[in-house]
């Protein structure tokens, strides 16, 4: 293996960690802007900026045939689930503790284990089943259904996690045959059209004209959303998903710190245990899968 090829996983890790940082910045911006703009407007900014960047990247390099696909139904499922998931996560961020929302949302890979069994017919090993059960317990600790003092908005985060699990599974299907930029293009094109129409129907917030200082944060949201999408797409070109997945959970301690510093959010003890349970469970699951992958004989 050449030195250049050997360094590619490190490049993938760097890109992936960078998109995790973008995810945290987006979370902070959504929570800060939610009192002034509707969630629909924030989603429109995120999708439209990303679409423009994707068109700039795709345009000079690809012919019209690049946009053709033989799997329109799979694109529709990935796109609709992704749009609904990010919408619910924005709703959750606007109302609930950022650390709790981050933890519940990051449980998506754990939920995807069960979904992949039915859709992709992947085997559910004992380690995977244990991870699903423990991860679900961690979710219950944060949500506290029927008791406790959790914000009702945390249920939106749970909905986002379930829908993100569909996104994960369908991305596995599509990445076997489709270029990552094509997948991202259809996703962000649909999001731009849907949320532009929705925003025109409900009207735009007065903050667009009455609070011009917020427009800088709106611009930052769009740029960061586009950067995250591109970094995420290209990170998988240089490193396996099994190597990159644990770095998602780096977001949890930073989300706790950000929530405390900016909004004085201190999750209760049970929620903190739930956050730690989801993080440990997710990292353990990925570590086990990576270990099994390395033991698999080369063909």
pTM for the model stands at 0.84
Q: Domain limits at 24?
A: 3-295
Average pLDDT of the chain is: 85
Helix (H, G, I), strand (E, B) or coil at 178: coil
Give tens-digit pLDDT for 78-99: 999 999 999 999 999 998 999 9
Question: How far is it, in rounded angstroms, from Cα 107 to Cα 272?
Answer: 15
Element (H, E) at 64: none
**Are 25 and 224 contacting, i.e. CB atoms less than 8 angstroms apart?**
yes
171 or 50, which is more confident?
A: 50
- Please give the tally of structural domains in the chain: 1
On the question of pLDDT at 146 being above 70, the answer is no
Give tens-digit pLDDT for 248-293: 788 888 899 999 999 999 888 999 999 999 888 878 777 776 676 5
Give tens-digit pLDDT for 51-60: 999 888 887 6
Long-range CB contacts for residues 33-38, cutoff 8 Å, separation at least 24: 33/214, 33/217, 33/218, 33/221, 34/90, 34/93, 34/94, 34/95, 36/205, 36/207, 36/211, 36/214, 37/205, 37/207, 37/208, 37/214, 37/218, 38/199, 38/202, 38/205
pLDDT at 196: 97
Give the confidence band of 128 by pLDDT, cuts at 50, 70, 90.
confident
Nearest-5° Cα angle at 109, 44 to 188: 20
pLDDT at 218: 96
**Are 221 and 30 contacting, i.e. CB atoms less than 8 angstroms apart?**
yes
Give the confidence band of 173 by pLDDT, cuts at 50, 70, 90.
confident
Helix (H, G, I), strand (E, B) or coil at 217: helix
């Amino acid at each position: 293996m050449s030195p250049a090829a050997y360094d590619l996983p490190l490049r993938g890790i760097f890109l992936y960690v960078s998109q995790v940082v973008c995810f945290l910045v987006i979370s902070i911006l959504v929570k800060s802007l939610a009192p002034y703009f509707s969630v629909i407007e924030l989603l429109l900014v995120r999708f439209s900026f990303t679409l423009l960047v994707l068109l700039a990247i795709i345009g000079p390099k690809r012919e019209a045939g690049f946009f053709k696909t033989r799997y329109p139904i799979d694109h529709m499922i990935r796109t609709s689930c992704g749009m609904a998931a990010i919408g619910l996560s924005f709703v959750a961020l606007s109302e609930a503790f950022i650390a709790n929302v981050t933890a519940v949302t990051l449980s998506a890979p754990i939920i995807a284990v069960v979904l992949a069994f039915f859709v992709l017919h992947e085997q559910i090993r004992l380690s995977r089943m244990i991870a699903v059960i423990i991860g679900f317990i961690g979710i219950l600790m944060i949500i506290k259904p029927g008791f406790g003092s959790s914000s009702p908005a945390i249920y939106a985060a749970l909905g986002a996690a379930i829908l993100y699990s569909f996104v994960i599974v369908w991305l596995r299907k599509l990445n076997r045959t489709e270029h990552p930029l094509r997948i991202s293009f259809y996703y962000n094109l649909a999001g731009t059209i849907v949320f532009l129409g929705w925003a025109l129907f409900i009207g735009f917030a007065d903050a667009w004209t009455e609070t011009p200082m917020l427009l800088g944060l709106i611009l930052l949201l769009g740029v960061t959303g586009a950067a995250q999408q591109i970094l995420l797409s290209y990170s998988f070109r240089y490193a396996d998903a099994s190597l990159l997945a644990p770095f998602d959970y780096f977001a949890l301690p930073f989300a706790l710190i950000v929530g405390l510093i900016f909004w004085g959010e201190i999750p209760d003890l049970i929620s903190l245990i739930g956050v730690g349970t989801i993080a440990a469970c997710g990292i353990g699951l990925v570590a086990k899968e990576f270990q099994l992958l390395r033991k698999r004989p080369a063909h």
